[in-house]
Every structure is written in structure tokens, then in C-alpha cells.
Structure 1
Amino acid sequence: MFPVRRQRPSRALSPYVKAYEERVQRLDRTVVLRPLPARTEQFLEFYLADRYRVREIASGAVETAPDAVLVGMQTYRRVDIVLAGTLRLFTIQFTPTGFSGLFGAATAALTDQAFAARDVLGREVAEVSERLEAAPDFASGVAVAEAWLLGRVPTGDPDPIAWAARRMTTLHGGVRVADLARAVALGERQFERRFTRAVGVSPKRYARVLRFREALRLKTEGLEPGWAGVAQAAGYVDQAHMIHEFQALAGDTPERLIAAMAPARETVVPGDGNLQSRRSSPA
């Protein structure tokens, strides 16, 4: 198990930031491969000690991650990461529309991509990284991130797309696009355009990845012992439909993916601040 400290943001940042996380682990000579199947999260990650190596699935090429990386939503298993050495990571996980809300960027350009954060956000990322590296503990790191992001909170009315994306996330994709559009008083086509700009993918594709991640969660947390039960609970037509989606979004069968993810499985541990309760989670 890899320990993860997690803290929720302040109230002012809660529409934009899902959580702050810290991972500290000394692996010495152990090398761990972590598969990265499709996921909805957009995040900014700072490597404050040794950095991950990233293995591209298509080519097999291995590169070292930059010291701060901005990662968009991933709709398929594009890379795996190689963990080794001494790890100290600080992660800012954004809500579905949080990055676009704070930085005014259309997130479609981030989808299925990862960029050196400095190339996208400028010199200030390096300054934040230096302050995080100097922070004596997780709570101090959170304070650094909060001070930086609070200055970017926009004024004006909340974006209705943010509510719609949260609703879809809460229901693990189990909601009709037409119903969401109607709830925020938008035509379906207008809703889809605005959703894609704010979230980075279409509503239907977002729901597809949410359903897949829910199936992973149900299995890794032991909430559904059998795959047929997982398929039903996650909202798939049947088990064959679920297996097809695992192949498309993770490049593997459900059984093999779960086995491959096991060595790098994470567990949330108690820490400073308003932390969530302890629980295991898929990577």
C-alpha cells in the first residue's frame, strides 16, 4: 500500500479544487509499475524529490517527468508510470471545471495530454514549487497552494456547467445529457459545447469514463465480489459490455488490470487538516 495524505480545500476554493494530496514513500531499490487507465481527474503535480518515469504504451519509450506536470483528463491508457527512489509529491486535484475556472483555459487541449506545468502556467509554477519544497509538512504545503490559488478565484455567478459536471460525477455517469441540459436551462447542443470547453470532453465521453472508474472502485474496495455484480452496479448493460469498455479504456481485461494495479494501490491515511476518513482507492 502507498500512503496518501488528503485534504479538502477552503470553502472559497471548493468549486475549483477537489483535494490536495501528498505522497511520501522511500522505495530504495524497489521498482513499481503503476498502470494509468482512463480517469476523469485533471491535476497539477509537483515532484519534490525523485521524479516519476513515464512509459508510453504505444512506443515503449520511457521519459522522466518534469518537476511539475499538468495532466488533463485521460480517455484511454496512454502511459504507465515507473516508481523508484525517494518520492515526495504534492498534488492539486481540480474539480471537473476547476482548472478552466481558475485559469480561464479551454481544457480540451489538456485531454489525453500531460505538459510541463511551466510551459502552460508560466514562471509562477516554479515559485510555487520552491515554496512547496521548503514547506516543513503537508499542512504548510496546503497553505502554500491555497495562497496561490485564492488569488485566482473569479468573481461573478457560478457556471451552471460546474453543477452539471458535479451531478454527473456524483451519479457515476448515470444521468441523461438531455436531463442535465434541461436542469441548467440550456439547449442540448449548447450544453454539450459548453461542457466540452469547461471539462475537456463531451458529456457522453465523460460519463463513459466515470462508469469505468466506478467499476474499478467497486472491485478494488470489495463492494462487489463478482464481476457480474460490478457490471450491474456500475450501470453497464451486461458483463460483456463492461469487458469491452475495460479493453477500450485500460487496454486490458478487468482481472489483469486489477492485478497490475495491486502493487501500487493507495490508501488514505490520517494527517493534518480537514482530511477524509481512511479508505483504500484505485490509483
Structure 2
Amino acid sequence: MQKVNTVKIENGESDEYNSTNESPRKLNDSSGLSKKKSGNTSRKASSFFYKISKDNKKGVSFVNKKGEYIIEDNDTSKITFREILNCPLEYHTNIMGTILFIFGSTFFLYQPLYIYGCITFAIACALCLYSNFIGAINKEQRKNNEFYGFFFYIIGCIVFLLGSIYSCFENDSYSIISFIIGSLFFLLGSIMFLFSIKFCQIKNIDINIVVVFFSNFIGGILFTVGSVFFFYPELYDTACYFFIIGSIIFTLGVYFDYIIYINNNITLDIV
């Protein structure tokens, strides 16, 4: 766990980042700030942002609502595996889902393993569906881009789940169409999260959030294009590779989701 020091700002002023500090949970789940209330975890967007201190070169710092200047030492240990394990269940189901997408996409390359690929995809979709559902119900504001992002992810997971089950019995155009529709909803969800970024304030946004959002966006594009390629037998292998690469990018986004959650909880323990 990284060590942090707290320094009080005399004038009590603090800079606030009004945009979201939550990232998508789809195939990439992320929540923003998490507070513990009666043993339960609830998510809220944080009102601080990370920035480099000009007065203290020891590490990264940020200002919280109380006007306290938090300074993080570079000479301390980084995020540990134990901290990752202590994250909420929806984070673990999300990364398990994205990893299973990698295996399922690889199985598609080998015809004898095609059915196993469909089964693996169905399990992955169910895991990601749970993660996105938790993300949606924990959103305090029901009418913003992030909530609609989760909503589109949920629809995409359901369509992909049904399509994967159907593909276990039939390998026809309907199975391909279900993959295309599911991928399009994933892509729409990622676009809604991108809309929540205030690009005019991009310098003040946590880079981890940007990585998560764009990982989902790129992964959604690869899944959509790969699904269309399944219509053409000569592009079948290429489609599988698009799915594999897209799944790896989704998994990368989930890793940064963990970092966002852990960093926000470090802050809560201090303030």
C-alpha cells in the first residue's frame, strides 16, 4: 500500500474536478469513489483529481474537499495483490469475464473447440452482466451518460449471452447477427462513457480513467468489426484474432479499473 502524507492548506481552497471519476464496468467495470457504510460499499464520483505538486517533488499529490493536500511518496510499495483481492466482487467477476473472452475467442480458431468457445463466451457474458448490473444500480444519478453506458453494456451482455447459447446448437447467420448486435451495444456503451469526459479539462483527469474508457471503446470496435467478418469464411481467422485482441484490451481496462478503485479507497481512509 502506498504511503501518503497529509498537509493542511492554509487558505482552505481546493481544486475540484467536476467530471466523473467513474469508469465503465462492462467488460470493464470500474467504479469511482467507494465509501463504506455499515459494511456495505457504495460508489460515488470523487471531487478531487491527481496532480503533480510543484512544491513537493516526492510524488503525486491531490487536494481533497477538506482543503488537505495529500502527498504520495514514491519510495513506498506499489499496489499489492492483496489489495486487488479486497476489491468488491463485481471487479473480480468482470476480470474473470474478460479473461474467459480471451479463451473463448481462441477456441473459435479450432473447429473441434467451437462449442467450448460458445460455452466459455456464455459464462463470460453472465459474469460481465453481473458486474454491469451492479454498476448501474449503484449509480446515484439515473440520467447521465455513465448510467446509459452501463445500460447499453447490460443489453450487450444479454444479447451476447443468448447468442452464445444459440451458437452451441446452430452455426448460422442468426448467431453472427446476435454477435454483431451485442458488439454494437458494447460500442454504444463505451461511447456514452467517453461523452462523460470533459476534454477541455483533459489535463486534470486521472489518466487511469482515460485508459479504461478508451480500452472499452477500442475493444468494442474490434468486437464489432470481428463479428461482421464472421459473415465471410475467408475472414474467419481474422475475426477470431480481432476478438482475441479486443478481449485482451478489455482485460487491460479492467486492470486499470482496479487501480482507480484502490487509489480512491486509499484517499477515503485518509480523509
Same-fold call, TM > 0.5? no
Which of the five TM-score ranges fits, normalised by the shorter chain?
under 0.3
From the two aligned structures, give the one with the greater helix fraction: 2
